[in-house]
């Protein structure tokens, strides 16, 4: 199976999009940082169900990494990624370098309020500014009808939706269900950092969050339930818990029992930070 075509400049991307538009085709975008896995392939599947052509961007975005984070170590494996895109039948890979996305003199940054407050921002204060800026650029560059983002990065999904509403960007944002391994661990490019003993611990994250969500749905006290989940993560072997929180699904404001909710968490195993979230069951 042949690999998708590859373009690495905005001009070439727009030229291809223009050709498709002349043919009346509907276009989907799947933004990624590469190191693709089955979770990414599930996004492409949804994209091709919703559009005639699928563009997958592969760009490790430096503006969303703090100086102390893993930008230099983040897995980069373009040849393997392109093979996976061939399997998924993506039509085009957009693989810009940093100078293409942030040319000399670049001086603009987008800051999104609302759902960006708290959770990740408490620990990565510049993260969502970097995400919002690069996502806005990608949406303007590719001008898709629809873009697909995974629910594993749930706060990011909410931020992107807010971005598009506030800036009147004419694209439909679709949240795709989290893809998990056979043990329930959410698929992530950073899972490659985990050795076998850490993987066994990591697979407890989803179970502990589901237990907390079920307790909340059954009427348990929120403060006690969240504290129990944090203690359970430490008991399971996580070194540090950044947060476990219950939030409303749409706004990410503190959860109330009469609203749709999510339990979100971030915790550390060695030098690897894992995030996950689960829905609070409804009757």
Is 38 annotated as contributing to ligand binding?
A: yes
Is 179 annotated as contributing to ligand binding?
A: yes
Degrees to nearest 5, angle at CA 151 with 149 and 155: 95
Residue pair 26/51 in contact (Cβ under 8 Å)? The answer is yes
Is 195 annotated as contributing to ligand binding?
A: no
State the catalytic residue, choosing from 40, 183, 195, 257: 40
Is 40 annotated as contributing to ligand binding?
A: yes
For residue 40, the tally of other CB atoms under 10 A from its CB is: 27
Is 35 annotated as contributing to ligand binding?
A: yes
For residue 269, the tally of other CB atoms under 10 A from its CB is: 21
Sign of CA dihedral 140, 141, 147, 152: negative
Q: Packing angle between helix 154-166 and helix 127-142, nearest 10 degrees?
A: 60
Is 189 annotated as contributing to ligand binding?
A: yes
Q: Is 40 a catalytic residue?
A: yes
Is 64 annotated as contributing to ligand binding?
A: yes
CB proximity list for 62: less than 8 A, separation 6 or greater: 71, 98, 102, 130
Is 247 annotated as contributing to ligand binding?
A: no
Is 188 annotated as contributing to ligand binding?
A: yes
Report the length, in residues, of the chain.
283
Name the nearest CA neighbour of 31 among 114, 99, 130, 122: 130
Is 34 annotated as contributing to ligand binding?
A: yes
Is 187 annotated as contributing to ligand binding?
A: yes
* Helix (H), strand (E) counts: the chain: 10, 9
Catalytically active residues, by annotation: 40
Known binding-site positions for ATP = 33-40, 150-153, 179, 187-190
Known binding-site positions for (R)-pantoate = 64, 156
Known binding-site positions for beta-alanine = 64
Known binding-site positions = 33-40, 64, 150-153, 156, 179, 187-190
């Amino acid at each position: 199976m042949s690999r998708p075509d590859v373009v690495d400049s905005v001009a070439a991307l727009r030229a291809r999009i223009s050709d498709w538009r002349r043919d009346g085709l509907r276009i989907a975008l799947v933004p990624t940082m590469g190191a693709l896995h089955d979770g990414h392939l599930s996004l492409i599947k949804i994209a091709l169900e919703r559009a005639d052509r699928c563009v997958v961007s592969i760009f490790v975005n430096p503006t969303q990494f703090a100086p102390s984070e893993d930008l230099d170590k983040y897995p980069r494996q373009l040849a393997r990624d392109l093979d996976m895109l061939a399997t998924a039948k993506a039509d085009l890979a957009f693989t810009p370098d940093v100078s293409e996305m942030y040319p000399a003199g670049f001086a603009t940054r987008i800051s999104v309020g609302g759902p960006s407050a708290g959770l990740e921002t408490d620990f990565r204060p510049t993260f969502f500014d970097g995400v919002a800026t690069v996502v806005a650029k990608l949406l303007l560059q590719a001008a898709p009808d629809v873009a697909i983002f995974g629910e594993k990065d749930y706060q990011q999904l909410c931020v992107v939706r807010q971005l598009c509403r506030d800036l009147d960007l004419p694209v439909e944002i679709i949240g795709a269900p989290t893809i998990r391994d056979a043990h329930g661990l959410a698929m992530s490019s950073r899972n490659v950092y985990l050795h076998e003993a850490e993987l066994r611990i990591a697979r407890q994250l989803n179970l502990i969050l589901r237990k907390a969500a079920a307790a909340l749905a059954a009427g348990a006290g929120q403060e006690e339930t969240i504290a129990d989940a944090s203690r359970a993560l430490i008991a399971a072997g996580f070194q540090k818990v950044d947060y476990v929180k219950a939030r409303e699904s749409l706004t990410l404001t503190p959860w109330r029992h009469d609203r749709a909710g999510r339990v979100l968490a971030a915790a550390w195993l060695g030098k690897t930070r894992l995030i996950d979230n689960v829905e609070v069951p409804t009757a």
